[in-house]
Every structure is written in C-alpha cells, then in structure tokens.
Structure 1
Amino acid sequence: MTLSVSTRSVDLRTEPVDQVLAHVERSLQTCLECDTVVRKRRTVGVRTGRDTWVRIERRAIDSIGVQGWNGTECASRLKGIAQPAWLGCMVWQDSDEPVMWRADETELLPGAPIGTAVLSEAPVLLNEWWEALNASLDALATQGTRRLATPDTDTITQALVTESIRRVFSGDFDTTVSRWVPAHADLNWANMTAPTFSLFDWEDWGNAPLGLDAASLWASSLAVQALAHRVRRERRSDFDCRDGKLMTLFVCSKLLGPDAHPEDPRREPARRMADQTIAELQKG
C-alpha cells in the first residue's frame, strides 16, 4: 500500500524565504538584490547582481504531474513571442518536506508590469503596444506543443469546459470545443509590461480552446468598460468564433459561479455578456 504524504499549505508572501534565497544565491553564484524581492502566493522573484531576474517556485512533488513545471523553459523555444529570454535554471528537493523548488533565471523585463491581475482603471497603452500583443498571441496560436494549459492550476479539458459552463448557465447549445491551440493561459495585466510589450510568467501555458487568452484578458478588464471593449475589438476574430464564445462563458462562469465574490464589479457586465453569448450560440 502506498501512503500519500500530505504537504502543508504555504503562502510565500508570508513564509520565511531567507534560506531559499541564500541557496539560490550560492548556486547561481551571483548576489541577489533583496530590496527588489517580489513575493506572490506561489513564487518569489528577485533581481540579481548581473542584471537578470530569478523566479523561484515551490511546488508539492505530487502536483508536478506528467507535464512537469518547466513552463518558462519550454516557452523559450516559442517563435515570434515578446518575452524575456530564458537563461537557465536550478531545481532541488526540499530536505524537510515533500516539495520541490525551481529557480528560473531570465533577462530583465523591458518595462514594469502594467498592474494587478484585475484593473480598476485604464492603463495608457499605445497602438504599438496593442500591435505587439496581437502579434505575440497570433504567433503563439500557430505553434505546437504537447503541454496542456493549466488556468488557475487546473488542467483544461473538454470535461472541465463543459462542467464549468453547465454549472452556471443553462441553454440549448453544444459546449464541444472544435479547435485547441497553444495559449499562455494566465493572460492578465500583472503578466504583461508597458510601455514596451512583453509577456511573462509562462508556468501555465499549453494547448487550450481557441480564445482562452482573449477571454481571460477581457475578464481582467471588465471593471473598466472602455478597456474591456478595446480587448474585444483587438481580438475580434477570437471572440467572434464559436470556440471564443465558449471561452467567454468559461471565464464568465468563474465570475458568476457560487464561489465568486458577490461584490465583484465585473459581475454585472459579465452577466450581460453571458446572456448575449448564449443567445448567439443558440442561434447556431
């Protein structure tokens, strides 16, 4: 009989990480500029003394799975994508817990992250920025991978799409996805830079229904209607196709489902769009 080893839940925003940073510093043979540390729930980022960036991730061994957790490394092989170059990595197993640590070193970002994942006011973005976004997303969709996207850490499958939509919406329409293409799968305003466009944090990328990225960015913009409209206008071909409509419902299901925050300002515009999208799908 195989006994599973439980792994405690850890939030790296509050967890002591000094020993982890010291280990990375010794292994990469560079100084880490501790006043630049950015702490998130699953990751810690820090600038090095050689003007590069290190992203450190902690993950339970049993959650690494078949796909692995080398998203940034695999994404470095993609062509035509504006992203910081991947330079190398180090991986080690924790000596006290059944978890693995991974540190990926990349070039510095060409600009600051635009904001948090969900915006409450519109950023200033030039037409050139939108052109670069479109070029990268279009290039990404033409490439091939065996990876499966993991939005919100859940592997996206046909069953997940159907379950997510049917849990929230009713209606006589088919939820079967017809086209799967590579997607970033975590496209939001915290993972892109300006004024120079660059897309980073590639740990969740992989094949997904066409339109997932566009729908995700739209959902992150819904508190600023002009911005949400701009996303839909720029990615019109994604939203107009049937798979894009399904992805619109998929992201709306997260905003309108039982686990959503009842005071999220995005709920009402999401509800209106969901009603419109269902009507369009029922027309065929």
Structure 2
Amino acid sequence: MFSEPDDPEVVARMRTAHTVASGALGVVPGRPAGSDEGPREAWGWRGRTLGKPVTGPYRLGWLRVVHSPVDRASGKLWTGPEDAERLVPRQVPRPRLHVVRQWTEGKDAYKAELYDHIVGQAVSSAPVLATGPRLTTAWWCDLRTALGCLSAVRTERAAVRQAYLDRAMPKYLAFLGGPVPTVPPAWSTAHGDLHWANLAGPELCVMDWEGWGIAPVGYDAALLHAYSLVEPETAARVRRGFADILDSDAGRFAELVVITELLQSAERGDNLELVPALRRRAEEVWPRAAPGEMGGR
C-alpha cells in the first residue's frame, strides 16, 4: 500500500470511480464485524489503484479499482489478477477473485475487481518494513511452500524480460566497477512484487497479482530480502528461510536483478531509504556472481 496521492484530482477521480464500481457490482462499504482492523482505503502506486472493504453478494469483500489510460489498458498488468485466478493453484493462498468489470470514460479506462476479504491484515502498510513483523514459524513455512508451488506454474506471462536485464543491470550496477552478469542461470514463475504490503498475517495470504510471470529463479525470495534490508533481523530470517535459493548462483543473480530494479525506482523517488543498503548488498553479492560462473537461458 502507498499513501494517498498528492494530486487532489487523482484522489477525487479514483474515489468517484470506486463509487461507480460499487453501484455496478451491488456492494456497499463494510468491515469485519466488531473489528476496526485493516485500512478503510488502500492506495496503489501514485494513485493507480484504490481498494476498500465492502459487503455484497459475496459477503465481506474487497473492491479494488484500477486506472489506466485507454491505450494502455491491456497486457500483463491489466490481466494479471484474472490470469492468476485461472492458472495459479489454490495451494498458493490468496484472495479469491469473484467478479471483474471494465469501463471507459473518455481517455481513462477502469477495471473493478471484487475479491474475498483477507483474514488478518497486511504485514506492513508499506513495501519496506519499518519494524520487524511477528510471524510464526508456520507462516514462514507456508510462504516457502507457496513460492515453490508457484514456481512450477506454466505461463507465457513475463515478470522480468531478458532485454531489460541486458540494458539495466550494467547501468545501475556500474558502481561495482567490473563486469556484471545479465543472463540468469534459470527462469521460473514468480509473483513479481513480493513485498511486505502484499503479504498478510497471521495467516499467510499473498495479494496483488498484477505483475506475476516468468522471472529469474529466486526472484521472489531476493525481492522480499531486499525490502527487508533496513530491518536486519527480518532480512536474516528471509536468508535463513530461503538459504538454499539465495546462496546459489541463481539466487545471487536474482539479488542483483532486484537491486537493479530498486535502484532504478529510487531515481523516481521510491524507497530512497533502501539505497545505501542495496548498494552494500550488491557489493557483497557481486564477487560471488562472476559472469563466467553464470549459465545461459
């Protein structure tokens, strides 16, 4: 989740779209009985999405509205949740997607997605941890199982593309002062945006399936580790839980990939608090990820 956009026009437009979607789907604002937990509004990156708890035909739910310019209302991000509902096994715990509706208003396209409401709440209100989460051993085991199950899903969707790696990795890792590998040892299916605001507890639930698809092996574990770097105890817990992945050639390469992506996003002002830790981690990983030791696709 992200903070409310600074632009009041975006805020007003998205809240109006959410009201329109609520009327079309026959839902009204609602929250778990006797509970004040969880957000009343959840904003996506720069106001692209807005979600709120609702009640309606499927009892307690979560209505998420997505915005895009009309000419971009297609492709991976636009169809990700529906594709996940069809293709990802239920062994990967996530909110059930019941209904999708789309409409346009001039140059703006909208999509309404009605989900089951999660049990519990997001581990963090933001992708980067502010404090260490209290998660059970069972939660960590369930996450490991879920990512293993997801990795075996067959799909033509792409979360990361080779062309991006060839272009971005040498640029954003140039500070390392030497050759940087750009071809992963192997590929598998990943969630693609596995950060702490997209994970729920105390019962594991994996949210936000817009960007899932093929990525370098170890990508999800590497991304969650990167988002944990400012909270060392949690970062160490991620490394322990995924040691066989992160300590492999594929895992080290995946870490360099996600560090590249997050350093690039920092240029746009996102997650600036991570930058020093990302650069330090790259310097730790890079000597063990020499180009000559990496395999091909």
Shorter-chain TM-score category?
0.7 to 0.9
Structure 1 residue aligned with 2:36 = none
Structure 1 residue aligned with 2:276 = 268
Q: Distance in 2 between matches of 1:267 and 1:30?
A: 42
Structure 2 residue aligned with 1:200 = 207
SS at match of 1:70: helix
TM-score normalized by the length of structure 2: 0.81
- The answer on whether the counterparts of 2:170 and 2:179 sit within 8 Å (CA) in structure 1 is no
Instruction: Indicate which of 50, 63, 67 corresponds to 2:72.
Output: 63
Instruction: Indicate which of 122, 125, 133 corresponds to 1:123.
Output: 133
SS at match of 1:62: helix
Matches within 5 A, 1:41-190: 41-49=47-55, 50-67=59-76, 69-77=78-86, 78-79=88-89, 80-94=91-105, 96=106, 98-115=107-124, 116-149=126-159, 156-167=160-171, 168-169=173-174, 170-190=177-197
Q: Distance in 2 between matches of 1:234 and 1:214?
A: 9
Moved more, 199-208 or 264-273: 264-273
Distance change >3 Å, CA 71–CA 216, structure 1 → 2: same
SS at match of 2:183: coil
CA drift of 1:44 comes to 0.8
CA drift of 1:88 comes to 1.4
Q: Distance in 2 between matches of 1:280 and 1:18?
A: 49
Moved more, 130-139 or 68-77: 68-77
CA drift of 1:42 comes to 1.1
The residue identity in structure 1 corresponding to 2:85 is S
Q: Distance in 2 between matches of 1:186 and 1:263?
A: 14
Give the unaligned 5+ runs of structure 1: 1-9, 150-155
Distance change >3 Å, CA 88–CA 234, structure 1 → 2: same
Distance change >3 Å, CA 99–CA 160, structure 1 → 2: same
CA drift of 1:254 comes to 4.3
- The answer on whether the counterparts of 2:60 and 2:116 sit within 8 Å (CA) in structure 1 is yes
TM-score normalized by the length of structure 1: 0.85
CA drift of 1:93 comes to 1.4
CA drift of 1:38 comes to 2.5
Pair 1:228-2:235 in alignment: yes
Instruction: Indicate which of 38, 41, 47 corresponds to 2:42.
Output: 38
CA drift of 1:244 comes to 2.0
Q: Distance in 2 between matches of 1:262 and 1:60?
A: 22
CA drift of 1:11 comes to 8.0
Q: Distance in 1 between matches of 2:50 and 2:214?
A: 26
Structure 1 residue aligned with 2:16 = 19
Distance change >3 Å, CA 164–CA 205, structure 1 → 2: same
1:26-67 Cα offsets, whole Å, 9 max, x none, are 211222349933233211111222311111100112223444
- The answer on whether the counterparts of 2:129 and 2:227 sit within 8 Å (CA) in structure 1 is yes
SS at match of 1:146: coil
Structure 2 residue aligned with 1:153 = none
1:66-92 Cα offsets, whole Å, 9 max, x none, are 446121121123112011111111111
Q: Distance in 1 between matches of 2:238 and 2:249?
A: 17
- The answer on whether the counterparts of 1:12 and 1:39 sit within 8 Å (CA) in structure 2 is no
1:151-187 Cα offsets, whole Å, 9 max, x none, are xxxxx21121132221123424532123221111110
SS at match of 2:289: helix
Structure 2 residue aligned with 1:249 = 256
What is the aligned-residue RMSD (CA, Å)?
A: 2.6
The residue identity in structure 1 corresponding to 2:80 is G
1:78-118 Cα offsets, whole Å, 9 max, x none, are 11201111111111112x3x221111111111111011100
Structure 2 residue aligned with 1:5 = none
- The answer on whether the counterparts of 1:255 and 1:261 sit within 8 Å (CA) in structure 2 is no
May I ask how many residue pairs the two structures share in their alignment?
268
